[in-house]
Structure 1
Amino acid sequence: MFAEERQDKIAELVAARSRVTVGELAELFRITAETVRRDLAGLENTRRLRRVHGGAVALDRLSMSEPSLDERRSQHLAEKTRIAAAAAALIPSTRTGSVLLDSGTTTALLAELLTDWAPASPGDALLVITNALPIAHRLCANPELQLEILGGRVRGLTSAIVGATASERLEALRPDIAFVGANGVHAQFGLSTPDSAEAAIKMAIVRSARRVVALADSSKLGEETLVRFAALREIDTLITDARPAEDLIAALAAADVELVIA
């Protein structure tokens, strides 16, 4: 096999698996570790992967890699839909209640379920607070809901409202339950996101709520992105679509986090 052909196959493998080791590649292609490292260096130079200690990762697994909201809407849609349904079951059914929806595609699906909300009894009320423009736009069509949108700067990539104004408003709120998204959920690092401005808002959301529920499909489990916004002990529940790895299960149990698999 020519070197160029081998490198193409390595790039395809990394894209499919997200992460490979030097040892795996050496065994698979029956080449030395030194040859593998030269191949990885060449592929990194052409921006087809990123080398890390012991191997390589796909570019979408980098700590600052972040697809747009439009790109994420179609990813893992069935899994996110199940997670959203499980989250909806946790919304308080008391006479009055308040929920906070973080920006994200899974929380947007949860918002879709709230578009048909109606009071079970006359006088029942549900306040929805959000920092997401798409969620606010969707929910304002339901006159039965009370809706509050946080003020601040809009981050174009995710349509999330960020900044000091939103954070300060959150300091004055104590919603019953907050649903927060994450780009990574890691046993040691906790919950993380690639952008520092969004991390600051997520941190404020976590601190504001009486109960914090993290929504993360299984592609986020075991991942670390650039900025941590919460330790595992700071959340109450994690809703995901598949059983996490054993180290994460143990860390969640140690942090007294309820695990819900939708």
Structure 2
Amino acid sequence: MSLLDPILILELATIGTCTGFLAGLLGIGGGMIMVPFLSIILAHKGYPADYTVKMAVATSLATIAFTSVSSVRAHNQRGAVLWPVVKVLAPGILVGSLLGAQIAHALPGKLLGILFAIFVAFSATQMFLNRRPEPSRTLPGPLATFGVGNVIGLLSSLVGAGGAFVSVPFMTWCNIKIHDAVGTSAALGFPIALAGTIGYIYAGLGLPQMPPGSVGYLYLPGLFIISAASMVMAPVGARTAHRMDIQPLKKVFAVVLYCLAAYFLLR
């Protein structure tokens, strides 16, 4: 597979455009779109099936680091990032993300794909339910919040997501406004991506039959092209989110997620 294949570049740029916009609009980090389509591209190029999902997850995490910076800037300009919440959740997230990468390396690729399908279906269900929190709920104490960070980091690292599928419902459950929860989740995507990417690079070093341009499980051409497109589109999505009611759109997107989950299970 040539690194300069124009079809490959176009495919990766299309993934980046879609995931960047959705990251800014819905705070989802883009992994739910990026992982299935990148794994399909790599599988069609003939690389080992046990690697493709892990490479897609690792590349998704690395891309989230870039997308997060761009998305956070847009949300922060509107005062929608709660930095005290980021500060208490980030340490647990770092630990959980490093651990998640090592667990993913030990899992068969097919099992990781099934876990990803379950994650996508869960995320879609959360979007449909849209439960409102009790007004009396607040964030738990530091120890419990550290534990929540562990869970967010671990699950996100396993499936290549920015953590919004756990962190946004958790924060809204704790009576944080949805726009603030989305903005804060975007900021939490950076420590998830950083720790998870390091873990996947370490776990995949020295493996045979990896695509050219790979470092461990990280696929560098995908990282650079998808990140460039994502960073352009994430602020557009964030501005759109602050101008419209995104709840109806979430229900439409949830249907798309159910279709992606079914595809992964059928594979």
Q: Give me the TM-score of the superposition, normalised by structure 2.
A: 0.29
Structure with the greater alpha carbon radius of gyration: 1
Instruction: Report 1 or 2 for greater relative contact order, CA contacts < 8 Å, sequence distance ≥ 6.
Output: 2
Report the structure, 1 or 2, having the larger strand content: 1
Q: TM-score, normalised by structure 1?
A: 0.29
Q: More helix per residue: 1 or 2?
A: 2
